[in-house]
């Protein structure tokens, strides 16, 4: 029986990053993964494949809508869907192979199979039981079920995000249930491929919890790109035949139930923590009311020697949040001081334009009664954004404390938002003021000038608005 300092359960971004940090800190480490490849949901059926499809379809959209005006004449390319899926598979393969290489390089054993924890200090994989001084559960999340809706990815009519990456053909009509990140990213992919996409959302705004200005602008931009929205409507059921599905929904405010027909229905109504089969009940591991593993400030569960990180515990279900926790818990186990600043975790939606946020929203701060300054700069005043047809409707909003000028949050919708947000993240980590960004020279012509302009707008005023 092998003996380890740490066994990590789950090789998604939380688990594999944690394993690498454990190994770097001199701990004898193994990782358990039951999938054929490493990388978890993110690399196999989540972030990475969806970004490959978003990239390919963005180029198609550019060719169809913007090439001619830039003097690039000729027919837009036609879509070879099978080849596009092959490209996506190649991207997945490169990344999962990369993680396998990193495991070998760091001398981390991959225990292939599904783990259970018969007792603290033991991890069972297949018929073998391994000993570990510490166990880190990084088992992630799975799509949550919607009552009255049966997902069958193999049939390809009513699918979740995994099935939506593998549809046998491009549907003519698609209904997306849920205007969250998954619904809008994958809805965008199919809208660009020519599918008539209708998004049904229970709330009155897209991406619940996001900055209200961004929500409005984002929805308008997506509508221009061809997506339709039915807001304030709760989906009550989906009836599927061999080739089609009928979605029934009820307006939140009351009124008659309605139906919509589609070739494919994508259920994107959230994900839930996944810890089935680990034996946590028998071990007495405390859970939260929402089915998450309860942890303390050091990612320790209620059972000594067992830790948990990522989607399976509280907090946003984001790969980078899991990675940060993975590194931090490794440091805790090694006797160091692992820390995650939950106030500075960016969120990004990889549509075109991208949407990115960090810190507190304007509405939340106002509701708390905080005195704030809001600097907003439209990308229409940014020369570079105009040059790439991505200025319309986009902006940077920076929020700072009225008295101290300390940055409290930001929301960006526009080109490169997912990268631009990190300037603000770093500033927040350093406790910077809006003036610190305003006084920093930003290269021209870059999108990042819009961040500086928003910071200037928190002071004496932006220059180009």
DSSP-assigned states of every residue in 257-317: -EEEEESEEEE-S-EEE--TTS-HHHHT--B-TTSPBP--TTSB-SSTTEEE-GGGSSS--
Indicate the residue among 255 and 369 with the shorter CB distance to ligand NAI.
Answer: 255
Asked if residues 163 and 265 have their Cβ atoms less than 8 Å apart, the reply is no
Only segment of 212-220, 264-272, 299-307, 386-394 that touches ligand NAI (CB under 6 A):
264-272
Q: Tell me how far, at minimum, the Cβ of 75 lies from ligand NAI, in Å.
A: 32
* Distance in Å, CB of 141 to ligand NAI, minimum: 7
Residue 197 binds ligand NAI, judged by CB under 6 A? no
Q: Tell me which of 226, 270, 315, 381 binds ligand NAI, using CB under 6 A.
A: 270
The site string for ligand NAI over 121-160 (x = CB under 6 A, - otherwise) reads: -------------------------x--------------
**Is residue 200 a contact residue for ligand NAI (CB under 6 A)?**
yes
Packing angle between helix 13-24 and helix 319-333, nearest 10 degrees? 30
Q: Judge contact between 190 and 171, C-beta under 8 A.
A: yes
- Beta carbons of 304 and 120 less than 8 angstroms apart: yes
Going by C-alpha positions, the residue among 54, 273, 58, 94 that lies closest to residue 181 is 54
168 lies in the site for ligand NAI, by CB under 6 A: no
User: Per CB under 6 A, does 190 bind ligand NAI?
Assistant: no
Residues 305, 24: Cα–Cα separation, whole Å: 20
Residues 6+ apart with CB under 8 A from 221: 353, 392, 393, 413
393-397: Cβ within 8 A, 24+ apart: 393/217, 393/220, 393/221, 393/353, 394/217, 394/353, 395/213, 395/217, 395/450, 395/454, 396/420, 396/450, 396/451, 396/453, 396/454, 397/211, 397/213, 397/214, 397/362, 397/454
CA distance 351 to 366: 28
Q: How many residues bind ligand NAI (CB under 6 A)?
A: 26
Binding piece for ligand NAI, criterion CB under 6 A, among 61-69, 337-345, 346-354, 388-396: 346-354
Among 183, 326, 338, 375, binds ligand NAI (CB under 6 A): 183
When binding is defined by CB under 6 A, the residue of 43, 48, 151, 268 that contacts ligand NAI is 268
Does residue 444 have an active-site annotation? yes
From the list 2, 63, 317, 364, which residue makes contact with ligand NAI (rule: CB under 6 A)? 317
Residue nearer to ligand NAI on the CB measure, 160 or 362: 160
Q: Which of 91, 227, 309, 348 binds ligand NAI (CB under 6 A)?
A: 348
Is residue 234 involved in binding ligand NAI (CB under 6 A)?
yes
> 339, 422, 444, 464: which is the annotated catalytic residue?
444
Q: How many CB atoms lie within 10 A of CB 204?
A: 11
Span of 72-80, 121-129, 344-352, 449-457 interacting with ligand NAI by CB under 6 A:
344-352
- By beta carbon distance, the residue nearest ligand NAI is 180
| Interface ranges with ligand NAI (CB under 6 A) | 146, 177-183, 185, 200-203, 208, 234-235, 268-271, 316-318, 348-350
Known catalytic residues? 444
């Amino acid at each position: 029986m092998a003996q380890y300092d740490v066994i990590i359960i789950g090789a998604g971004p939380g688990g594999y990053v944690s394993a690498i940090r454990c190994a770097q800190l001199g701990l004898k480490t193994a990782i358990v993964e039951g999938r054929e490849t490493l990388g978890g949901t993110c690399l196999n059926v989540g972030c990475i494949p969806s970004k490959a499809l978003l990239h390919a379809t963005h180029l198609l959209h550019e060719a169809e809508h913007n090439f001619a005006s830039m003097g690039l004449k000729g027919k837009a390319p036609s879509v070879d869907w099978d080849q596009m899926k092959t490209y996506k598979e190649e991207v997945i393969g490169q990344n999962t192979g990369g993680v396998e290489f990193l495991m070998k390089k760091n001398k981390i054993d991959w225990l292939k199979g599904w783990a259970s924890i018969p007792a603290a200090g033991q991890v069972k994989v297949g018929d073998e039981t391994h000993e570990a001084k510490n166990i880190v559960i990084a088992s992630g999340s799975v799509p949550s079920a919607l009552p009255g809706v049966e997902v069958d990815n193999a049939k390809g009519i009513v699918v979740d995000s995994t099935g939506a990456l593998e549809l046998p053909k491009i549907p003519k009509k698609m209904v997306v249930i849920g205007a969250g990140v998954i619904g809008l990213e994958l809805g965008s992919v199919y809208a660009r491929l020519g599918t008539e996409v209708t998004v049904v959302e229970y709330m009155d705004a897209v991406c619940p919890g996001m900055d209200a200005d961004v929500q409005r602008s984002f929805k308008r931009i997506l509508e221009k790109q061809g997506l339709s929205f039915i807001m304030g409507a709760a989906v009550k059921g989906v009836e599927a035949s061999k080739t089609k599905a009928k979605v029934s929904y009820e307006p939140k405010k009351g009124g008659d139930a309605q139906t919509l027909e589609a070739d494919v229905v994508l259920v994107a109504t959230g994900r839930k923590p996944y810890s089935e089969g680990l034996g946590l009940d028998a071990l007495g591991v405390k859970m939260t009311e929402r089915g998450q593993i309860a942890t303390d400030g050091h990612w320790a569960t209620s059972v000594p020697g067992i830790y948990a990180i990522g989607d399976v515990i509280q907090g946003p279900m984001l790969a980078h949040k899991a990675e940060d926790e993975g590194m931090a818990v490794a440091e805790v186990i090694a006797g160091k001081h692992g820390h995650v600043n939950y106030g500075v975790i960016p969120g990004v939606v990889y549509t075109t334009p991208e949407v990115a946020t960090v810190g507190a929203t304007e509405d939340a701060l106002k509701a708390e009664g905080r005195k704030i300054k809001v600097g907003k700069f439209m990308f229409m005043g940014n020369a570079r954004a105009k040059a790439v047809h991505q200025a319309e409707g986009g902006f940077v909003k920076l929020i700072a404390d009225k008295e101290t000028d300390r940055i409290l949050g930001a929301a960006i919708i526009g080109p490169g938002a997912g990268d631009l947000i990190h300037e603000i993240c770093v500033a927040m980590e350093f406790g910077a003021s809006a003036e610190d960004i305003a006084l920093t020279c930003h290269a021209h012509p870059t999108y990042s000038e819009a961040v500086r302009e928003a910071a200037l707008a928190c002071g004496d005023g932006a220059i180009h608005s």
